[in-house]
Chain A
Amino acid sequence: EPEVTQTPSHQVTQMGQEVILRCVPISNHLYFYWYRQILGQKVEFLVSFYNNEISEKSEIFDDQFSVERPDGSNFTLKIRSTKLEDSAMYFCASLERVTTDTQYFGPGTRLTVL
């Protein structure tokens, strides 16, 4: 069964450093997402991406965040200058069609900012 993959599984970084989280969505999917889950809290939408541009972003997704699909397979989330409060699980998800299909989640990257 096709699946969404994410690397790394755990990233530790110093405050102020840049990190790039990587995702490989399911190959025939067209819509891509990043969600975040701070420990003990709910899963929150960050951004959706379609046709090489952002289709929607939440108020969490400020100027320190960016997304990119640099080639035909990878989908990346960059956090430019990490803060302590960016520590969370970051989940990538992909979707084939927008109307009734289900989003499939990757296993997540645990980001720890020290």
Chain B
Amino acid sequence: RKEVEQDPGPFNVPEGATVAFNCTYSNSASQSFFWYRQDCRKEPKLLMSVYSSGNEDGRFTAQLNRASQYISLLIRDSKLSDSATYLCVVTRVNTGFQKLVFGTGTRLLVSP
């Protein structure tokens, strides 16, 4: 079983739509959780951290459910510039050193 699983998509949505991505992780020792955004052939860039209490940053809302080992990302009022691959990322700290574990990513295409 993959350590971080995501639906690869693509999700095709019109501008202005609301879209939700989900992710599950298998290792209960995972400590921190993030959504990264990756544009084609570019580096991953941090979109937001994810907390159990939920957190919001403008049009983006992320949620963590530790009991279900489930992470979500909601994008409201989609823009053309939101087209990208969204990577669910968890960290494990092993012997004091942090390591990022990536999902395969969910591709979003926002059309006019």
Contacts and interface: CB of A to CB of B under 8 A. Distances in A.
A105 B41 contact: no
B46 A45 contact: no
Contacts, number: 59
Given A42-B102, A44-B102, A45-B99, A98 B44 contact: no
B43 A98 contact: no
A42 B107 CA distance: 12
Contact of A105 (B45, B49, B96): B45
Nearest to B43: A105
A101 B102 CA distance: 16
Contacts of B42: 107-108
A14 B32 CA distance: 40
Interface residues of A, number: 27
B98 A31 contact: yes
Interface in A47-96: 48, 50, 55-56, 89, 91, 93, 95
A17 interface: no
A72 B49 CA distance: 30
Nearest to B96: A98
B102 A56 contact: no
Contact of A48 (B34, B97, B101, B105): B97
B17 interface: no
Nearest to A102: B46
Interface string B24-43: 00000000101000100111
A43 B93 contact: no
A22 interface: no
B102 to A, nearest CB: 4
A106 interface: yes
Given A43-B87, A105-B44, A107-B42, A98 B93 contact: yes
A102 B91 CA distance: 10
Interface of A: 31, 33, 35, 41-45, 48, 50, 55-56, 89, 91, 93, 95, 98-100, 102-108, 110
Given A42-B105, A45-B99, 6 more contacts: A48-B99, A56-B95, A98-B93, A102-B49, A103-B98, A107-B42
